[in-house]
A and B are shown apart, each in its own frame.
Chain A
């Protein structure tokens, strides 16, 4: 395993590499097409380099544990608003998630529906490309249209365009309080209708999930105390035609959303786990067509976590629904057989492949992972 301690060392390692490399942060998100190659780890590139609470920005080296960042932000009552998911609940891997891994996989949680994804909070990156060149893009200011936005391109590129060495992020104040409305016993169509209605209201909903395992459809409101009380009441009235809402807050509330974030309902899955992203109103049709062993809906119905019998090709069951499906958990054999990432239409696949060959001409960075 190669473990560079500085960006310069990482650049040297990439220059002198002569075979494929498997890039690792905390080692908690091993999904995608299995990659053969020597492991190169960012775990020694660790530490917060700058934190300005008054400017809502934090800069950290890619290998910094997410827990370290969250702890530092909490001291100033701030947080990563995009609520990055911890994949350990469903993948069962050990290790500690890193901020570089969060960005490389563009990992976002329930609040994505209201505030945006990891990529929306990413202000700047430094990375080393496949030839060992050090490149920066963006910066540490909230608004920046200086040149192309490679920041977004790097988010979710799973190391295939370069290895992140440093990221700068916009952070947000933590909310004073939060409450969740729970509706009981809705079927999937009613649940998506309820969530759409809540998200289309003026009451600033920051989470909307449907959890068949508990029979709950849940809608979250966050903010200052009086405001949360007001909006909770208004939203309860707003949804009264669909059902009577029970209100929860406090620790049980926080745990509920942590479980939604981490797709905990699928943690005991024996089959494969798929992640499907569609527009919310297509959610029920996906469930009907796939008929999964178990599932969980987040993002108002637009994000579906599903357990299916091993070897099921979910894409073949929903060919006409726009969006994409990713095979998150399956045996390496199945992940070598079924495309783990949604195959792109031909002209886009061409663009993606050419971008990869520009940034990584020798094809040594996580080759094939996003296929």
Chain B
């Protein structure tokens, strides 16, 4: 992975920069010993590593502002970091950058049930937002798979989704406001507990901007009352096409499940070996979950089962209680872990129109043969957000490169059928140089000029999102 050459003049000034950062932060909040900065050398995309110049862990918005002012004045790139779970390299540093970690910003600021909002510091983990309100019956809806570890700051940066976003939407649909520090240290409040923007929807463009427009330190989020209950049903089919048609028919019938998850045969087998969830060994498996009271669940499930029956499922299994429900989810939830047990893998998240599902799955199968690497498919079928898992062996020379080339082919395929490169993981460095497949120069220029406004010197997370050659002159001017 190509990254810009570090600025030697910054590397030379390391001691002075560390000293300046020390002057505005507690001693233990500046990490500069090379043995310790290695903890920040990569994120969830662990194939690429580079220790930063140093890392800082501010505990207040004011400390964040003080750090950014120094970096702005010194012209030092800053890479914001939530919990470092990005699968796209969104928090990967360069050698001349300061990692700004928000982990110490983890407090709940205000819980407001009458208005159904919670305001938290951005380093708080996704699951602990729900943790703060669940005893009162509420929850925060976006549920990325990494929700135990991932921070709200990262969720906002990547506009993260999750299994249940078919009903509840992704981060941007559940975010009302932020407190954000601009690269020059200016602190701004955008949005609030009210529901819409009074002028341009700046919040809308900040969410999903991969930490390139500002550092979010606080967020006001929508919370919802938990449904009375939820129950999944499992269906097995003997072809991907039929499973795809079944998904489409469920949606057309007006039933809106909270989740529709798909697994193909390879994934089923691997998960079955690992988790022993009792899945049928068929070509395609769907897990469909509905919510509500017992009566409502029954009403929805009876409609879903009736639709499934018209497609001759090889298996149709209901959960009769919480235990059986947990067993149905067990295999799906352990899918990535199970894959990791048998192989190295690369997880893509291209999204396609659901009508293209059978074609894309068939084509992925062909590409898999062509490149000689197995690809498992597990994904959110209701919204077309695929997760092809390319299996490879990192110890075999050349396999990572082959895997990357296959990944690029699959993502281009997603774009060709009317979809996109990434549905929820973000571009980061991983998909940066594929952006030209989806966007014209004018499209990219329009996005880059937004960064010009928020961060004129291109210091915030500069080598991400845009193809290096497209952002080169802007980064060089900094």
Residues of A within 8 A of B (CB): 52-57, 76-77, 106, 108, 112-113, 116-117, 119-120, 129, 133-137, 139-153, 155-157, 160-161, 172-176, 193, 196, 199-202, 204, 223-224, 226-227, 230-231, 234, 277-281, 299, 302-303, 322-326, 341-342, 344-345, 347-348, 351-352, 354-355, 358-359, 370
Q: In the complex, which residue of chain A has the Cβ closest to the Cβ of B114?
A: A196
**Minimum distance in angstroms from B197 CB to a CB of chain A:** 6
* Per-position binary interface string of chain B over residues 5-46, scored 1 when its CB falls under 8 Å from any chain A CB and 0 otherwise: 000000000000000000000000000000000000000000
The answer to whether residues A149 and B351 also contact, given A54-B248, A136-B443 and a CB cut-off of 8 A, is no
Cα(A53)–Cα(B251), bound, Å: 8
Supply 6 A–B pairs (Cβ within 8 Å), ascending by A.
A116-B169, A143-B424, A200-B138, A354-B453, A358-B450, A358-B453
Q: Which residues of B contact A277 (CB under 8 A)?
A: 194-196, 198
Partner of A347, one of B188, B296, B442: B188
Additional A-B contacts beyond A135-B442, A149-B207 (4; CB < 8 A)? A156-B201, A204-B292, A226-B295, A370-B200
- Chain A, residue nearest B421 (CB): A146
What residue of chain A has the Cβ atom nearest to residue B414's Cβ? A141
Interface centre among B202, B209, B427, B454 (most CB of A within 10 A): B202
Which of chain A's residues have a CB closer than 8 A to the CB of B355?
A: 52, 54-55
Say whether B172 contacts A149, CB under 8 Å: yes
Q: How far is the CB of A237 from chain B (nearest CB, A)?
A: 13
Chain A CB within 10 Å — which of B299, B424, B453 has the most?
B453
Pick from B56-64, B65-73, B158-166, B316-324 the stretch touching chain A: B158-166
The reply to whether B435 and A147 contact each other, CB–CB distance below 8 Å, is yes
**Complex contact B256–A347 (CB within 8 A):** no
Q: Are A280 and B204 in contact (CB under 8 A)?
A: no
Contact B226 A202 (CB under 8 A): yes
Name the residue of chain B whose CB is nearest to the CB of A227: B296
CB within 8 Å of A: which B331-384 residues? 351-355, 380, 382-384
Q: Contacts of A281 on B, CB cut-off 8 Å?
A: 112, 114-115
Closest residue of A by beta carbon distance from B453 = A354
B452 proximity list for chain A (CB < 8 A)? 358
Select which of B169, B182, B204, B354 is within 8 A of A152 by beta carbon.
Answer: B204
B253 to chain A: which residues have CB within 8 Å? 173
Interfacial residues, chain B to chain A (CB-CB below 8 A): 112-117, 137-138, 158-159, 161, 165-166, 169-170, 172-173, 182, 186, 188-190, 192-205, 207-209, 225-228, 248-249, 251-256, 292-293, 295-296, 299-300, 303, 351-355, 380, 382-385, 418-427, 431, 435, 438-440, 442-447, 449-454, 465-466
CB < 8 Å neighbour of B352 from A53, A141, A174, A326: A141
**A200 with B113: CB separation less than 8 A:** yes
Closest residue of chain B to A199 (Cβ to Cβ) is B116
User: B382 — nearest CB in chain A belongs to which residue?
Assistant: A142
* CA–CA, A55 and B186, complex, Å: 43
Collect the chain B residues with CB atoms within 8 Å of residue A117's CB: 195-196
A57 to B251, CA, bound (A): 11
A302 to chain B minimum Cβ distance, whole angstroms, is: 6
> Which residues of chain A are near B418, meaning CB under 8 Å?
139-141
Inter-subunit contact B442/A351 (CB<8 Å): no
Whether A145 contacts B426 in the complex (CB less than 8 A), given A77-B254, A152-B205, A156-B200, comes out as yes
In the complex, the answer to whether A326 meets B446 with C-beta atoms within 8 Å is: no
- How far in angstroms is the closest Cβ of chain B from A236? 15
Of the listed residues B201, B203, B293, B438, the one surrounded by the most CB atoms of chain A closer than 10 A to its CB is B201
A200 touches which of B116, B292, B293, B449 (Cβ 8 Å)? B116
- The residue that B188 contacts in the complex, of A76, A161, A175, A345, with Cβ under 8 A, is A345
Once the chains bind, are B173 and A120 in contact (CB under 8 Å)?
A: yes
- Give the 7 A-B residue pairs with the shortest CB-CB distance, closest first: A152-B204, A324-B198, A173-B254, A54-B248, A143-B423, A142-B383, A279-B193
